[in-house]
Amino acid sequence: MAKTHKLFKIQCLHRAYFLGKVYICKHKIYTMSVEHIHCLIIGSGPAGYTAAIYASRADLKPVLYTGLTPGGQLTETTEVDNFPGYPKGITGPELMEDLKAQAERFGTQVRFGMVTKADLTSLPKRVWIDENTEITADTVIISTGASAKWLGLENETRLRMNAGGVSACAVCDGFFFRGQEVAIVGAGDTAAEEATYLSKLCKKVYMIVRRGEMRASKAMQHRVQNTPNIEVLWNSETDDILGSEAVEAVVVKKNQTGEKRTIQVTGFFVAIGHKPNTDIFKGQLNMDETGYIQVVPGSTKTNIEGVFAVGDCADKTYRQAVTAAGSGCMGALDAERYLAAAH
């Protein structure tokens, strides 16, 4: 059960109003209570919910704040076929509800709310929910995830939200396009790797590259160039994605001449990068140049004792639901050991 500090009574004033953490009523003055939590988990998704399952079973009495999108990126995924334990597959929202129910069964408090400010260097840790509710915590597990970057096209958003063949994860969704022709946009290592992955499943892969060269490493460029069913469209941009209920074609524009070309495809993959949701922790936690939280190798420990990072906010390599869940387990175990040593 989460603890709250006692309410302190002070001599009265004549009218009621709020002043910082002090509530002044007509005859008495009270300080607003600040809830104290043993183990705070920031963010849901496979990492957060798995951390909650393990933390609650270890009697850490975790409280999990979901963020604005309960369940994270997987709530936008219709079919999940690569998460162990579901031989017939499952939808992303259903998988998240299962993990949430399992966490709650062991006593996790799951709350809707977003952490908007944090002071992780203080003891105990201090965070603010939705800008105005302060809570303190002995240990914090960060599982805020990362968001895929999108092109911002209207049809891209519509077809993505309606499960119409637009994806930001070839490893997750490439299976559904076996034997078909698809397009992928991007020019970095991730785009090259995903294009190569798709080439093993798909009949043809069109790789849309904005410049006349790729940003990918030479090794990855050579891999793309040596794959016969990958066609690179240089100096090209995606002008539109066509299809009423599912992707039917992509309109590609030459950015030097303005010439447009319509290519028949059934899948469209966006590989222009991910942005970790870690902005509120900048200046406190060590991060790489992109914003991924850096952890001690082989653990989830950050540079601040008692603060742990799990899932996609610290993983720029794998970004899979099952690896996120595994790191959530690690985060809970690391938090348990930290608290045991501290007491």
Nearest residue to 338 (alpha-carbon basis) of 314, 294, 307: 307
What does residue 133 show for φ and ψ, rounded to 5 degrees? -105, 115
Written as one letter, the residue type at 260 is K
Any idea what the Cα angle at residue 323 is, between residues 62 and 57, rounded to 5°? 25
Find the length of the chain.
343
Asked about 130 being catalytic, the answer comes back as no
Asked about 25 being catalytic, the answer comes back as no
Asked about 12 being catalytic, the answer comes back as no
What token pair was written down for 188? 């970095």
Catalytic, out of 172, 202, 313, 315? 172
Determine contact, residues 233/187, Cβ cutoff 8 Å: no
Torsion of CA 327, 330, 334, 337, to 10 degrees: 170
Catalytic, out of 12, 81, 119, 173? 173
For 88, 176, 288, 311, the CA distances from 84, given in Å and listed in that order, are 10, 18, 31, 17
Determine contact, residues 110/104, Cβ cutoff 8 Å: yes
Catalytic, out of 39, 138, 169, 202? 169
Q: Which residues are catalytic?
A: 169, 172-173
